[in-house]
Chains A and B, each alone.
Chain A
Amino acid sequence: MKYSASKAVGAAVFLLLVGVVLVIPEFVLAAVVPLIPLLVPPVAKIKVERTEFEKPEFVGEVFSLSIPLKFYGVGVAKIYHEVGEGIEIIEGKNYSTAFIFGFGKGSIRYKGRVRKIGKHNLSKLKVVVESLSLSSEKAYEVDLNLEIEAKSRIFGRRLKELRAKAKSVMVDIDRAKIGVPGTDFKEIREYNFSDPLKFINWKASARFGKLMVNEFEKEGKKAVWIILDANDYMEGFFDKALEVCSFLVSYYATRGNKVGLYALGKSNFIYPDFGKRQVKKIFDYITSLEAEGNESLDEAYEKMKKMLYIYEPLIYVITRAEKANLKKFVRKVSKFKVVVISIKRDGESLGELTLMLARRRALRGIEHRLEVDVEERVEKLAKVVA
């Protein structure tokens, strides 16, 4: 029994007992008084008026929703609009109340932001009508027929306008470490087993007294190795990380760089390759990822060490700097060029300021670093990379 109902029944029983024991009719009559409000049951007929909803198309977009409601009946209505995990409410509330006595009005108004790729069902509107004495309740469910299908901003976009700007990409000047030797002379080095005989430099061999070979630059561009952090602390930041990752993959893979990917937290990697097929392969993989892993960069280093030494790639680490143990990892891969892209969400709350200080501390000393706010458009990143 609900709080107020139990109190009302308690009062009625008390008055009844006194009235019966002392044989005072007024007490027995007064025992009816506390019970009268319990007699009114919660009843409501709900009518949804014209819903105003601007459907968002991409992840990160803000949408506003307004659901005006009309009630006919008696009671206190608690209205709750169910939103999934992938929706963040940034202004207003997804719940409300309405007082109904014959007729009542209520509404739900809020602004939200889509945080995850995929379908989000916004159809469920739950209404619980409580009796006026708040002693009993009745639940109703209204189907609003609202759905969001959010796509990532970067997917399927060619970034043509950026191609023109990106004439001096950092890795374009670096050559691949493996592949077919070209015609550009690089250096003379000692002969290794399996080196072709045609590359032996006989004059240099005679001078040094041991076999020396000419080394030529390999054809192709330097590989890019992206470490995408999919650990549980990326929740809420992961869609921006995916967006950044998608941009880097499509940017480099379509420019002739081999792009490989390591999903931190999943212990999975995709071997470096270039071209549209590789872009699709990586896109298909990362869209299926959820930020729920638990793996350190040190553990990941041990697993991908072999690949790093074969390709000597440019490494991109997309993470939250304040959460990942970056410094140790950067020290280990100091032989390679490492760019750390830290996803952040800045605000004015004490917690967010603390995170900002921790992030700054974590990024201090790292030569190539970049902070991307979850609110920022990825085009800014494109300008930086270009």
Chain B
Amino acid sequence: MINLVLAEMSVIVTYLSLTQSEFSMIANPDYFLLLLLIPLLLFSTKRNPYPFGLFALLSALTIFHYLPNSELFHSSLDLAYFLTGSESVKILEKIVASRSVNPLYLMLISAFYVSSEVYESASRKKKAYENFPDLQASLLSLFLSLLPVLFYKLIPTYPEAFYIGIAGVILILTYSVVRR
């Protein structure tokens, strides 16, 4: 049940990110609310309502929100303008470049996913240990996962997010390997 709630919250966060992207100009993002049915269907078939596939899909959809920050996207637009000389490409680039992005959406989706996986793992252990504190473990993982969000909220100016992210991932993975 916890996983279902986390999955539905992730879908809503994805929907919110889409409403604030240029995608809403092309198509109605309300159609993406149909994604809410996927966790429900999985839950009704007694499967994990928040599998990796759903997480990957939702993360991929948030790309529309983060395109203004993508160097690759801007390069592609420049190339398209250079090759075709279309005015619409230039207009699109102007629209996209004028918008700021919010990293919270992706962070929240990731945090919900990790928390659901911890809950899933704890639920398996609960079969052996009746009073296994699955809910506490899951909620605390959610809290820990949201620490970077808190960090971002406290210090919203992060000019070198790209390098900080890469360094963070490498450091954490190295730490995990060394500790093992």
Contacts and interface: CB of A to CB of B under 8 A. Distances in A.
19 contacts: A3-B121, A7-B114, A8-B117, A11-B114, A15-B110, A20-B166, A23-B71, A23-B162, A25-B161, A26-B161, A30-B106, A34-B145, A35-B168, A35-B169, A35-B176, A76-B137, A97-B132, A101-B136, A133-B141
Given A9-B173, A96-B131, A132-B140, A33 B111 contact: yes
Contact of A30 (B67, B110, B120): B110
Interface of A: 2-5, 7-12, 14-16, 18-41, 76, 78, 93, 95-99, 101, 132-134, 136
B161 A132 contact: no
Tell which of B66, B73, B124 has the most Cβ of chain A within 10 Å: B66
B72 A21 contact: yes
Contacts of B172: 12, 32, 35-36, 38-39
Contacts of B46: none
Contacts of A27: 59, 66, 106, 165
Contact of A29 (B103, B113, B136, B137): B103
Best-surrounded residue of A9, A16, A35 (most CB of chain B within 10 A): A35
B7 to A, nearest CB: 14
A36 B141 CA distance: 9
B107 A33 contact: yes
Contacts of A35: 168-169, 172-173, 176
A38 B172 CA distance: 8
B69 A4 contact: no
B56 interface: yes
Contacts, number: 171
Label chain B's interface by main secondary structure.
Answer: helix
A97 B106 contact: no
Given A35-B172, A136-B180, 11 more contacts: A11-B113, A16-B169, A18-B59, A24-B66, A26-B161, A27-B165, A34-B111, A40-B144, A76-B137, A96-B129, A132-B141
Interface residues of B, number: 57
Contact of B106 (A5, A15, A23): A15
Sorted nearest first, the 5 A-B pairs with minimum C-beta distance are A28-B165, A25-B162, A99-B133, A23-B71, A29-B165
Interface of B: 52, 55-56, 59-60, 63, 66-67, 69-73, 101, 103, 106-107, 109-111, 113-114, 117-118, 120-122, 124-125, 129-133, 136-137, 140-141, 144-145, 147-149, 158, 161-162, 164-166, 168-169, 172-173, 175-176, 179-180
Contacts of A18: 59-60, 63
A50 to B, nearest CB: 22
A11 B63 CA distance: 15
Contact of A37 (B71, B73, B130, B145): B145
Nearest to A9: B173
Contacts of A97: 129, 131-133
A33 to B, nearest CB: 4
B94 to A, nearest CB: 20
Contacts of B169: 12, 16, 28, 31-32, 35
